[in-house]
Amino acid sequence: MKFAWLCILFPFIGVLCIPLLAKINPKIRNAAAVFFPSLSALSSLMLLPYLFNPESLPMESSYVWLSSPFIIEFGVLVDPLSIILANVVAVISFLITVYSLGYMKGDPGLTRFWILVNLFIGSMLLLVLSNNLLFLFVGWKLVGLCSYGLIGYYYRDEEKYCIGGPPPTKFVTPTHCGLKALIVTGVGDLIMLGGFLIVFYYSGTLNLMQLYHTSSQWISEMSKTPGMIVLISILLLAGPIGKSAQFPLHEWLPEAMAGPGPVSALIHAATMVKSGVYLVARLIPLFYYGYWVSGSGEASAFFIITAWVGAITAFVAATQGAVALELKKVLAFSTVSQIGYMWIGLGMSGLSQSVLVSGTTSGIFHLVSHAVFKACLFLCAGSVIHAAHSIYINQMGAMRKYMKLTWIFMTIAALCLMGIPPLVGFWSKDAILLSTLEAHSIPIFIIAIITVVLTSFYTTRFIGMVFYGPKSEHVKHVTEKEGHIHEAYKTMWSTCGILSVIIIVFGIIGPRIEHLMTLAFRSSLTGSINLPISEGTAHPVNYHLLVAVLSISAVLMGAIPAFILYILRKGDPSKILKKSPFLQIIHQFFWRRWFIDSFYNAIFVKGTEKLASFVAHTLEDGWDTIIHRKLPDLITRRSYNILIRLRTETDDLLYNLGYILVVFIGLIAFIFFTFL
C-alpha cells in the first residue's frame, strides 16, 4: 500500500521543490520536474503485480481526517480499476514531462509550467486512488484548476498563440480557452456535487467500498421515492460528461488546444479527460446492483444515458474531425470521439448481466489503448507544428522528407487509432463493438461502425495532408527562411519512439492484456463486490468474426477514399466540394461544429453579457436617475420642500423618542439596583 501513497505524494513534493530549485539553477529545476513524476511512475508500476493476483484485492489504507459529526477518512483504494488508471496517468505523464524538456526549452514561464504539470499529475493520481468521494472530488477540482492554468498558459494572448481560423473564422485567445474549460467543466462539477450529497444523505458514507457493501440498504431506500434514482443518475453523470467532454458539454475540449503541445497530450491522453471515464466505471457496481439485484428499473437509466451519450458524442465529434484544418484540433475531436467509444462499452455493462465484465473491460481497455496512441499522436503533432511554424494541416505537406522519424511514429499511432490489426487499437475497439452486439444494442452498434468509417477517413486525411503531397507555399517559405526543416529535439522524438514501440508491443500481446483485465474485473465485480452475472447465450453467428470483418471493412471504407485524395493526390477535394452544393452544406455544417458552439455562445455567453449590461445600464443607472434627478422635477418645488421638512421633523421626533427611551431604561435600572 505504501506505493499507492508514494504515487500520489511524489508529484506534490515536486510542486514544493520546483520553485525553490529554480532559484538555485534552472537545470536542477528541470531535472526535479521530471524526477518526481518518474518516481510516481515507478511507484505505480510496483502496483501492477497485484493484477496477477486479483483475489488479494481490494486493499485500503486510510487515516481519519474528520471524526465528528461523522467519520471521513483520507485514504487510498487499490483495486484493478485504480491500479490500471494510476499506471496510465503516471507512466504517460512521465513520458510527457521528458518530451517537455525539449519542447518548452527556453520558455520564460517554465517554472510555472512545471509546477502546474506536477500539480496536475498529483491531483489526477489523488482522484483515481482515493478511497472516498470527498477526496476524489478534491482531486477532481484540482485537475480542473490546473487545466485552466495550462490551457491559458500563454496568458498574454499574443497572436501567435491564438487558435481558430483561418480567416474569416475567428481566432480565440488562450485566456478565453482556459476560462471556457473552467466554466463548462465547472457546470458539470457543481451538478455532480449535488449527486454526491444526495448519495451521502441516503447512505451516510462517502467511502467507496462501504457504498458498495451497503448498497442493498440505501439503494432500496432511495428507490422508494419515484424518480430519485433517475435524478441521481443524471446528477452523477453530469460531472463525467463535462470532464470527459461528452455531448452536450463537449465544446470546451477543442479550445484546450491553446495550451503548449505537451499540455494537449497531458489533458487529452493521460489525465483530465480520463477522469470522467474512471468515475463512470467506479459507479457501475452501484447502479448495476440497483437494476439487477434490487429490481429498480430506474437504475437502468444510468447505463442507457451513458451508452447513448457516448454514441452521439462519438459520431458528432468524428464528423467535426473530418473537416477541421488545425492539426491538434483534429486530434482533439478524435479524443472526444474515442472517449465516446469508452462510454459505449461502460454503458453496455449494465444492460445485460452477461456483459458486466466484458463491457467494463472493453471500456477500460480502450482507455489504456487510447492513452498510448493519442499521447504519441499529440506529441508528434507538437513536433510537426514546432518545425513547420503552423497549426494548419493545409499549410504543411511533404513533411516526411524532413521528419522521417516523426512520420514513422505518427503513422504507427494513426494506424492504431484507425484500428488496423494487430495494433492495440484494433483489439480495444473491437472489444467495444462486441459488447454492443452481446447487449443487443443494434442502433448503437450501427452508430459505432459508422464512426469507424469517419475515424479512418479523417486519420488518413491528416496524415496525407501533413506528410504527403507537394510542399505547401508556407513550407517553402519556412525552408527558404531557415534553410532546412529538421527533426525535433532528441527528448521529443525519442519519447514518441518509445510510445510507438509500446503501441506495437501492446498490439502483439493485446489479447493477453484483455484477458488479464477480464480476470481482474471479474474477480473485483463478482468477488469483493459480489455482483451477480450470467453467461451469455449461444449465438448462431460467430460475433467475434462478425465484428472483425465489419470493423476492418469500415476502416477500408473510410481509408481508401482518403488515401486516394490525400496521399495519392488523384483528385482535388476542394474542386469536388465546389461541384456539389449538398457537400458544401454538409461541410459547412460540420465546420461550424453543428452550430452547437455558436448556440452556447449566443445563449449563455452573449446572453449573460446582455443581461449584465441591461441590469447595470438600464435598471441600476435608470433607477439612480429617477431618484436623484427626475423625482425633484416630477413634483412641484413646494411639495418637494414639504417632503424635506417632513423628513426633518420625523428625524427630530425619532431622536426625541430615542432620548426618552434611553432615560426611561436608565431610570428603571436605577430603581432595580437600588431596591434589590
Examine the pLDDT at 624 and tell me if it is beyond 70: no
Are the C-beta atoms of residues 334 and 414 closer than 8 Å to each other? no
How far apart CA 84 and CA 520 sit, in angstroms, is 10
How far apart CA 40 and CA 36 sit, in angstroms, is 6
**What would the mean pLDDT of 282-308 be, rounded to a whole number?**
93
**What would the mean pLDDT of 86-105 be, rounded to a whole number?**
93
Candidate from 267-281, 336-350, 434-448 with smallest mean pLDDT: 267-281
How far apart CA 467 and CA 476 sit, in angstroms, is 14
Q: Which DSSP helix (H) or strand (E) runs through 520?
A: helix 510-523
Residue 47 main-chain phi, psi, to 5 deg = -85, -15
Going by C-alpha positions, the residue among 322, 389, 344 that lies closest to residue 565 is 322
**What dihedral do alpha carbons 411, 414, 416, 419 form, nearest 10°?**
-120
Examine the pLDDT at 124 and tell me if it is beyond 80: yes
Helix axis angle, 110-129 relative to 80-103, nearest 10°? 170
Q: Where does the pLDDT of residue 284 fall: very low under 50, low under 70, confident under 90, or very high at 90 and above?
A: very high
- Cell, residue 404: 522521417
pLDDT at 674: 46
Q: How many CA atoms lie within 13 A of 657 on its CB side?
A: 6
Cis peptide leading into residue 26 (ω within 30°): no
pLDDT at 676: 43
Q: Which DSSP helix (H) or strand (E) runs through 65?
A: strand 59-66
The model's pTM is: 0.89
3-state SS record for 385-439 = HHHHCCCEHHHCCCHHHCCHHHHHHHHHHHHHHHCCCCCHHHHHHHHHHHHHHHC
Are the C-beta atoms of residues 399 and 383 closer than 8 Å to each other? no
360-398 burial, b at 16+ Cβ within 10 Å, e below that, comes to bbbbbbbbbbbbbbbbbbbbbbbbbbbbbebbbbebbbb
pLDDT digits (tens, 9 = 90+) for 460-487: 999 999 999 888 888 888 888 777 788 8
pLDDT digits (tens, 9 = 90+) for 168-209: 888 889 998 898 888 899 999 999 999 999 999 999 899 999
Examine the pLDDT at 92 and tell me if it is beyond 70: yes
How far apart CA 625 and CA 618 sit, in angstroms, is 10
Cis peptide leading into residue 168 (ω within 30°): yes
Side chain identity, residue 569: R
pLDDT digits (tens, 9 = 90+) for 577-617: 888 889 999 999 999 989 888 888 888 777 777 777 777 77
How far apart CA 190 and CA 185 sit, in angstroms, is 9
Cis peptide leading into residue 58 (ω within 30°): yes
How far apart CA 440 and CA 561 sit, in angstroms, is 31
- Cell, residue 180: 471556457
- Cell, residue 349: 455493462
Cβ burial, residue 614 (10 Å; 0-12/13-18/19+):
exposed
Are the C-beta atoms of residues 307 and 350 closer than 8 Å to each other? no
- In terms of pLDDT, which residue wins out, 670 or 520? 520
Kindly list the distances between the CA atom of residue 663 and the CA atoms of 133, 656, 659, 666, in Å, as whole numbers in the listed order: 60, 11, 6, 5
Kindly list the distances between the CA atom of residue 81 and the CA atoms of 221, 270, 278, 522, in Å, as whole numbers in the listed order: 28, 15, 8, 11
Beta strand segments in 145-232, E: 163-164, 171-172
**What dihedral do alpha carbons 277, 406, 565, 574 form, nearest 10°?**
80
Examine the pLDDT at 656 and tell me if it is beyond 70: no
What share of the chain in percent tops pLDDT 90?
Answer: 62
pLDDT at 673: 45
- The percent of the chain in helix, strand and coil, each rounded to the nearest 5, is 80, 5, 20
How far apart CA 598 and CA 592 sit, in angstroms, is 8
Going by C-alpha positions, the residue among 66, 67, 120 that lies closest to residue 94 is 120
Q: How many CA atoms lie within 13 A of 66 on its CB side?
A: 10
Examine the pLDDT at 671 and tell me if it is beyond 60: no
Q: Which residues pair with 78 in a beta bridge?
A: 59
- Cell, residue 270: 493521460
What contacts 481, CB < 8 A, 6 or more positions away? none
Kindly list the distances between the CA atom of residue 492 and the CA atoms of 369, 409, 473, in Å, as whole numbers in the listed order: 21, 12, 26
pLDDT digits (tens, 9 = 90+) for 199-223: 999 998 999 999 999 998 999 899 9
How far apart CA 394 and CA 72 sit, in angstroms, is 55
Give the mean pLDDT of the chain.
Answer: 88
